[in-house]
Amino acid sequence: MAALFEGFTLCGVVSGSARAEAALLGVEAEREEDRVVVTDCGRSVTVYKVSDQKPLGSWHVRQGQSLTCPAVWSSRSGEYVAVTDSRVIRIWKDDDTTFEKTFKATVCADVARIHAAADSEPVVLFARGAVRMLDALLEAPQQPIEEVLSEEEVIRSVCRCAQCFYSCKEDCYLYLQRFNPNSLHKYKLETGESRARPLSLCATVRNQSIKLLCLYSSGCLYQSVLSMRGTIQDGVQLLPRTLLLRLPVEDGHLSSASVVSLDEGNLAMVGVPHPSASAGKEFLCIWNTNFQTLQAAKELTGRIYGQLWSYSGRLYVPHGKALTVIPYECERSSLATALGRLQQDRSDGEQLVTTVVSWNTLLHEDTIQHQKGARGVETRQSVRHRGNNVPLAPMLRKFTVVSFTAVPSLLLLLIIRYIFLSCVTRDVEMILSGTADPELQLVVGRLASQLVSRCQSDSAFYPHHTLAQLVHTRCVCHSLCPNLLMLALEKKDYSLAQLCLQHFPDIPEAVTCACLKAFLDDLQTENLEPDSVSFMEGMVAVCKRDGALENGFSPVLLEEDSCDVNAPTTRAKGKADWLVLDMPCPVGVKKAALLNEILQTAHTDSFLLPHLKDLTAQQVVLFLQYLQFLYLKYYQDISAQAPGLRSPTVTQIMDWVCSTLDAHFTVLVMLPEARDLLFQLHKFVRSQVRLICELGKIQGSLQDLHKLKQTEDADLYSIEVIELF
């Protein structure tokens, strides 16, 4: 799982409107992890200590000069290198105060970029494609520089980690410069029929191969793997590529966007719209390419420049008028972490089957169909054209039924935008029944997200039944349709929320906590899932039975246990306290059923804790009371854990007790009304610990039974029969 943390502003960005392309020239790593070199578009280079948000040093060029490429830190020589006025290379150290007295060398061609890879000599890339090592260049600054690129080619993007850059005019080419031996490879980048243009390039080197990520303006992210040790072939080759992600792009083309690879499975993007947010908002997103899921997103205010850097666990994004630093964390993604720790293992077998579809094939098929279905595209355009003034539901419905199988996803959008509530149910049913299995997931996902977005825009529109039906297909999950659960809470549709909690394996901890909060606060609902309610009714009924203890834990133990200083008082109150084992259920049956769903959701403690802190003290006390109730019930009556019904396990209950106490311990200690609760809880837990000790002793003595088998070996003499084969 990946997470974005709270960001902070490192510095302001002064971008003239003239330079719309970029806010900064660049952010480069410095010698320490905590430092970066920021080169702004104007005339200054500043070194920041990031955690302190403090500049450590700043250098300005004289009026009339300008910086033309981002300053870099050369770890080899311990100096900064920058280029002013395209041709003057300047090199300076920390203790130089101004540019004027620093070393400079004028070269005879325009410099595009300087790269400083760790532990190697900086490399100078000229605007016409030639590449020189910095020290070789400085030995003879006026050496002739050859032209690699043809006249009409322009360098568009340069990758930091491997020496590759691409240039394009009509066609796009990728040039890959290798050192030792020096060689230059030229690859042609496919643009496809849609003439999508590469926007951002990101290269990482792993295991002797270069992994190139290329984001196209069509929203597709392709990956190409080039071997570092590959045979050298002359001529232009087509760059092999595989589609990693196909991101939804509202109006067909992205203008500026940037992608940075964070680790093997995760990448950060800026400038690509959030799949479920409304248009006009800009997000920084972390996508997981293995699971094709959105891992984290953060809204950025102000305009986006399509620039993004990542150094040592922090992302640097210029937006609006500031350069923001956002720390992130990528845990290694595996299915287990993707699904959380407590995947419900007690669900019934038949319910569990969630079809796993290869998104790649689906998406590719989609593309193919898209291209084939030229008719569909035309229709869509014409429909939209007219749709602006007339609701055309009947006609559209007809159209849907006819051509649905050909272009499903395109039409869904239209349907939901225009048809009436009453029709939605029927249409969706038809779609569901008419869709082949592997496509179902895709279709249902799009359907759900469109329905939700319509619900959000149109407050009168709320197709509860349809949404529930979609959730029941088990093809929707939270990352596919992130707003569904929140929408259900908003509309106080707790039965849908319950369904979501039951069926979504990937609910973020923040949402879980929001649900918990809502459930604890108020509740008026009728149609909860019957099993869960009947389970709670059963439990409350048990509670009303007379308090005879059934499974052998003797109260005497507790009385012995409480022989501390205030023994007399405890003894006096003892009987009453002890009967608290039969405490009444602090919440209603239905509320309890919902809380049980919360308890059974998958979660990770460390992510849960910050959100749990949002609960108010009253909510916490109520929740703890309920948890204690459950715990006591389970302890008293093993059969409370009915095997057939969905019910939280003791471990889950204990986990939540721990997390809640963890999150609110100081509050609970201060709170007078929580005092009794904590005392009782402690007392009970203490008696349980005693019990465990005793059990440990029994276990210890019974363990020796196993050793008995070996004791027969210890006989001094025996006659045995063996067989050899």
Partner 1 sequence: MGEFKVHRVRFFGYMPSGIRCMSFNERAERLALGRLDGTLEIFNFKDSFYQEKVIPGNDSRSVEAVCWVAERLFTAGLNGEITEYDLENLCPKYSLDAFGGPIWTVACNAQGTHLAVGCEDGSIKLFEILPEKIRFERNLDRQKGRVLSLSWHESGTRIAAGMLDMIRIFDVQSGHATHRMLVDRGVSGMRNHECVVWCVAFLSDLTVISTDSSGKVQVWNAAMGILSSTHLVSKSDVLSLAVSKDESSFVVGTSEGTVVQFQFLANILGGDEKAWVRTKTFKPHTHDVRALAEIGTAVVSGGLDTQLVVRPLLDKVDIMSYDNVLHKIHFPHRSLVSCAQKAGMLLFQFPAQLEVWRLGESEGRGKPGDTLFVKKNPEKLLQLKRKGEDHISCSAISPCGGWLAYSTVSSLRVYRLQCDEHVSISKVPKLPKVLRSAHQLSFSDDSSKLFAASTHSMVHVISLSQSECKHLHTFKPKSGSTEPVHLLAASKDGKWLAAANRGCEIHIYNLHKLKVPHCTVPIYGSCPTAMGIHPTSNNLLMVHADRQIFEYSIVEKQYTDWSRRVQREGLHKLWLERDTPVTHVTFNPRNAAQFMLHDTYMFCIIDQSLPLPDNKCQFYNQITLKSLSEQERLSHAHAFKMCTKYQHLLFLGLLDDESLVVVQRPLTDIASQLPAPVRLKKFAT
Nearer to partner 1, 385 or 709 (CB): 709
Nearer to partner 1, 146 or 723 (CB): 723
Distance separating alpha carbons of residues 465 and 443, to the nearest angstrom: 18
What six digits make up the tokens of 619?
């909510």
CB of 111 to partner 1, least distance (A): 42
Distance separating alpha carbons of residues 701 and 705, to the nearest angstrom: 8
- Name residues whose C-beta falls within 8 Å of residue 23's C-beta, 6 or more positions apart in sequence: 13, 15, 41, 305, 307, 318, 319, 323
Provide the 8-state DSSP code for 361: H
Distance separating alpha carbons of residues 659 and 670, to the nearest angstrom: 18
Query: Closest by alpha carbon to 607, among 663, 654, 669, 647?
Result: 663
The backbone torsions φ and ψ at residue 8, rounded to the nearest 5 degrees and listed phi first, read -145, 160
Contact pick of 232, 238, 356, 719 for partner 1 (by CB under 8 A): 719
Binding mask 660-699 for partner 1 (x = CB under 8 A): ----------------------------------------
CB of 666 to partner 1, least distance (A): 33
Nearer to partner 1, 460 or 724 (CB): 724
Nearer to partner 1, 95 or 713 (CB): 713
The answer to whether residue 717 forms part of the interface with partner 1 (CB under 8 A) is: yes
Region near partner 1 per CB under 8 A, out of 45-53, 362-370, 590-598, 714-722: 714-722
The answer to whether residue 208 forms part of the interface with partner 1 (CB under 8 A) is: no
Query: Closest by alpha carbon to 318, among 302, 332, 333?
Result: 302
Q: Which residues of 629-640 are buried (b: 16+ CB within 10 A; e: fewer)?
A: bbbbbbbbbeeb
CB of 715 to partner 1, least distance (A): 7
Number of Cβ atoms within 10 Å of the Cβ of 11: 17
CB of 714 to partner 1, least distance (A): 8
Nearer to partner 1, 576 or 714 (CB): 714
If 0-12 CB within 10 Å is exposed, 13-18 middle and 19+ buried, where does residue 596 land?
A: buried
The answer to whether residue 718 forms part of the interface with partner 1 (CB under 8 A) is: yes
Distance separating alpha carbons of residues 415 and 433, to the nearest angstrom: 17
Number of Cβ atoms within 10 Å of the Cβ of 510: 14
Q: Rule CB under 8 A: which of 230-269 touch partner 1?
A: none
Distance separating alpha carbons of residues 26 and 24, to the nearest angstrom: 5
Contact pick of 151, 548, 709, 725 for partner 1 (by CB under 8 A): 725
Nearer to partner 1, 705 or 724 (CB): 724
Region near partner 1 per CB under 8 A, out of 66-74, 569-577, 629-637, 712-720: 712-720
DSSP letter string, 279-307: TT-EEEEEEETTTTEEEEEEEE-S-B-S-
Region near partner 1 per CB under 8 A, out of 115-123, 291-299, 388-396, 707-715: 707-715
CB of 700 to partner 1, least distance (A): 14
Q: CA geometry: angle at 150 spanning 84 and 120, to 5°?
A: 50
What six digits make up the tokens of 603?
């979660």
CB of 703 to partner 1, least distance (A): 16
Query: Closest by alpha carbon to 257, among 242, 267, 265, 243?
Result: 267
Residues β-bridged to residue 310:
315
The gap between the terminal CA atoms of the chain, to the nearest Å, is 54
Nearer to partner 1, 402 or 722 (CB): 722
- Name residues whose C-beta falls within 8 Å of residue 89's C-beta, 6 or more positions apart in sequence: 81, 82, 83, 104, 105, 106, 107, 111, 114, 124, 134, 137, 138, 141
What six digits make up the tokens of 104?
């400079």
Number of Cβ atoms within 10 Å of the Cβ of 14: 12
CB of 707 to partner 1, least distance (A): 13
Binding mask 360-399 for partner 1 (x = CB under 8 A): ----------------------------------------
The answer to whether residue 723 forms part of the interface with partner 1 (CB under 8 A) is: yes
CB of 29 to partner 1, least distance (A): 30
Strand pairing report for 44-49 and 54-60: antiparallel
- Name residues whose C-beta falls within 8 Å of residue 264's C-beta, 6 or more positions apart in sequence: 206
Nearer to partner 1, 388 or 710 (CB): 710
Residues 157/165, Cβ–Cβ less than 8 Å: yes
Nearer to partner 1, 95 or 712 (CB): 712
The answer to whether residue 460 forms part of the interface with partner 1 (CB under 8 A) is: no
Place of tokens 């690509």: 272
CA quadruple 91, 19, 26, 188: dihedral sign: negative
The answer to whether residue 720 forms part of the interface with partner 1 (CB under 8 A) is: yes
The answer to whether residue 704 forms part of the interface with partner 1 (CB under 8 A) is: no
Place of tokens 């509530």: 421
Binding mask 465-504 for partner 1 (x = CB under 8 A): ----------------------------------------
The answer to whether residue 708 forms part of the interface with partner 1 (CB under 8 A) is: no
The answer to whether residue 712 forms part of the interface with partner 1 (CB under 8 A) is: yes
Sheet of 209-216, strand order: 198-206, 209-216, 220-227, 242-246
Nearer to partner 1, 229 or 709 (CB): 709
Q: By three-state DSSP, how is residue 383 classified?
A: helix
User: Contacts with partner 1: how many residues (CB under 8 A)?
Assistant: 13
Nearer to partner 1, 345 or 715 (CB): 715
Number of Cβ atoms within 10 Å of the Cβ of 94: 12
Nearer to partner 1, 556 or 716 (CB): 716
CB of 310 to partner 1, least distance (A): 36
The answer to whether residue 711 forms part of the interface with partner 1 (CB under 8 A) is: no
The answer to whether residue 715 forms part of the interface with partner 1 (CB under 8 A) is: yes
CB of 724 to partner 1, least distance (A): 5
Region near partner 1 per CB under 8 A, out of 24-32, 479-487, 668-676, 709-717: 709-717
The answer to whether residue 541 forms part of the interface with partner 1 (CB under 8 A) is: no
The answer to whether residue 52 forms part of the interface with partner 1 (CB under 8 A) is: no
Region near partner 1 per CB under 8 A, out of 484-492, 493-501, 551-559, 716-724: 716-724
Provide the 8-state DSSP code for 639: G
CB of 696 to partner 1, least distance (A): 15
Contact pick of 18, 541, 705, 721 for partner 1 (by CB under 8 A): 721
Contact pick of 335, 353, 705, 716 for partner 1 (by CB under 8 A): 716
Region near partner 1 per CB under 8 A, out of 218-226, 228-236, 621-629, 708-716: 708-716
CB of 711 to partner 1, least distance (A): 12
Q: Rule CB under 8 A: which of 593-652 touch partner 1?
A: none
Residues near partner 1, by CB under 8 A: 712, 714-725
